[in-house]
Chain A
């Protein structure tokens, strides 16, 4: 279907003549968990360092600055359709949750493609970032255009948006998450009811939480993705967090830190996670990103 649409767009551009020598392009994405198609109704065994069975509460991410690589090696930006909903400037929100099942506070609307145009030509290779560019990341979400006005992806003002929001809920018994059993007695952080992977910029210097930083954050935490073998109209981009969290125990949370890994430098639960997003984290050097692949 994607191939068909791609060819159709290219044909339309051809017919329109040289004045409109752009072709439409649609870049399809799929969400998977350890190779299995993601669904809000699914449970997924064997995740993390303790091979936990999990359900997912959310699965959304921002991608930005998509470029196709022309056969001569030129990086050509994809001009995203400005659709007033999912895509703005060079940014798109990919939303794989549909508000059903365990995705309890999600939205029925989903979005799994980038839609735009590139100059007519032959391409092989795709590059983009997971994240929101600095210029857009620290503005006021109240006045921002869609999709940057969705509360689900707000973080704190200073840090900008959640770039990646994939939330795991360990399954302890049929239909019940681990909240009750894992939580320790008394006040303070106990074990997690959910293990949240929230990626965003950190250490963004600003005088107040509501003031945008004047210069780039110390940890921008945008993930650069390069898929040199991507063939427009044929290839599919796969987002799969299983390898990213393979070294993390999804049933545990370090006391006095956010549940799961929310990118904050004080959180050891990110030690084994952020490096696998291609990001250095404290003393842990970046590895190759393992979130995004293609086929």
Chain B
């Protein structure tokens, strides 16, 4: 490992003024000295706001070994902003039927996924996609399963609120009523001005900024794998999980080529990334009629680029907490991790009959690294044990991320939740 002094020396960016350089070095120093669950970082290297950098200090709920997620230049992370976002996230009044909150498809116990095959929105509208986990979502350079243009959580928040195909929260055309509803709530009457002193009312800007800020704090980096890897607690992982880890990082299975790095995804942007990285792959889930086609409405990246060979390319999901986010794939088509592994072992999924029949391993757009492999049942068991070691129980139960509304409050009284 490079010595710390070297890291500190190179942490700043050569082009930045000396002041910012030293601020960056200080923030790294602070991150190292502070307890591992309370790293602090300024945003100095990323934005150059007029206000003093010290006001930007925000205590990220995360260990020191990982850089915080990037924050858009027009946002200063503050506890007030995050708290407001948390209340909005759990508030079913953000929907047309008064029953659908963000949390209605993103439940903490399921790492902010919903356990359903595909999402269910306002008025019981069945969606098209499996609800993705929001763990570490602030590090994702693009949001949603395949849209390359949704590059901020703030922009993404508009899609479930106002989207009509499918309806998720059903607010299209109802924003004035939404703002009035929120403004009438005693909590929001104080919380919006506290978070936005210069723009104290509920509106699209403030709502989406607050939602983005809360989601950016959903950082999950304290699984048994992390405790074994970063805290030296070798007993945190079972022997089976460690055998599975060896398989995961072995070139026979090639898992790590796409599920790379701290988030186990080749999509990553941290506050120290020089630029975002994205990865979209066709894994041979379908090959309808041997043409490479995926089911209508689920063409992946091709829907947005119009490029035929982008058929079936979806964003590589993070594997953190994957054991609690079943079912799997963009359309929830695979129920268990064991079946997912068998899908990759076969180099693609074969559907023998029905409207989606086809041999996925012959999909012409399938990623070259989905080559297939031989694997024993015992090895599958070990690999699943490794994936289970990526479950961060603290994250699933952390009261910081839980529903802030009291029982019976209008924000939650009629709210539909995936579990109970």
Contact = CB atoms under 8 A, between A and B. Distances in A.
Interface of A: 57, 81-86, 88-89, 104-105, 107-109, 135-136, 138-143, 145-147, 149-152, 154-158, 167, 169, 175-177, 179-180, 183, 186-190, 192-194, 196, 208-210, 212, 253, 256, 258-259, 262, 264
Given A151-B277, A187-B345, A194-B369, 15 more contacts: A84-B14, A84-B16, A108-B275, A135-B2, A136-B2, A141-B262, A146-B273, A177-B368, A179-B362, A183-B361, A187-B346, A188-B374, A192-B371, A193-B370, A208-B242
Contacts of B273: 146, 149-150
Determine the main DSSP class of A at the interface with B: loop
User: Which interface class (under 10, 10 to 19, 20 to 34, 35 or more) fits B?
Assistant: 35 or more
Contact of B1 (A140, A189, A192): A140
25 contacts: A83-B15, A84-B15, A85-B275, A89-B6, A105-B278, A105-B280, A140-B1, A142-B65, A143-B67, A145-B272, A147-B274, A150-B273, A151-B267, A151-B279, A169-B368, A176-B309, A179-B363, A180-B363, A189-B371, A189-B372, A189-B373, A190-B372, A196-B369, A208-B229, A253-B371
Contact of B256 (A138, A140, A142, A154): A154
Contacts of A169: 368
A88 B260 contact: no
B342 to A, nearest CB: 9
Interface in B1-32: 1-2, 6-7, 10-16
A210 B229 contact: yes
Contacts of B304: none
Nearest to B268: A151
Contact of B366 (A82, A138, A141, A179): A179
A141 B308 CA distance: 34
Contacts of A179: 362-366, 368
A160 B14 CA distance: 26
Contacts of B262: 141-142
Contact of B277 (A150, A156, A176, A193): A150
Contact of A81 (B12, B14, B260): B14
Contacts of A264: 251
B10 A258 contact: no
Contacts of B368: 57, 167, 169, 177, 179, 192-194, 196, 259
A208 to B, nearest CB: 7
Interface string B258-284: 001110011110101111111111000
Contacts of B106: none
A258 B371 CA distance: 8
A151 B249 CA distance: 14
Contacts of A157: 249
Nearest to A142: B262
B290 to A, nearest CB: 8
B260 A84 contact: no
B246 interface: yes
Interface string B216-242: 000000000000111000000000001
A193 B261 contact: no
Contacts of B371: 183, 189-190, 192-193, 253, 258-259
Given A176-B364, A258-B254, A138 B1 contact: yes
B313 interface: yes
B249 A141 contact: no
